[in-house]
Amino acid sequence: MSLLLLITCGYIYRPESDMAFLKLRRLGNYFNILMNQITKLKDLVMNFHDPPYILKKLGKN
């Protein structure tokens, strides 16, 4: 068990894996932003029959 942990830590803390980790985290952030935008678009489409909701969402109270 400790050998597996040592191998895992050695793999994670390699200098080249730091850049890969940062790129993966940045990709995760982009994916999160994209999912938020899709959710907002879905809300607009689902509530399209309700004009006050759309105006409120667009920030034009």
User: pLDDT tens, 9-25?
Assistant: 555 555 566 677 777 78
- The share of the chain scoring above pLDDT 90, in percent, equals 0
Q: What is the pLDDT of residue 41?
A: 85
The answer as to whether 3 is a domain residue is: no
Distances (CA, A) of 19 to 11, 13, 24, 27: 13, 11, 8, 12
Distances (CA, A) of 32 to 8, 13, 37: 27, 26, 9
The answer as to whether 9 is a domain residue is: no
pTM for the full predicted model: 0.46
Query: For 12, how many CA atoms within 13 A lie in the half-sphere containing its CB?
Result: 6
The answer as to whether 10 is a domain residue is: no
CA 41, chain centre distance (Å):
16
What is the extent of the structural domain holding 28? 15-57
**Number of compact structural domains in the chain:** 1
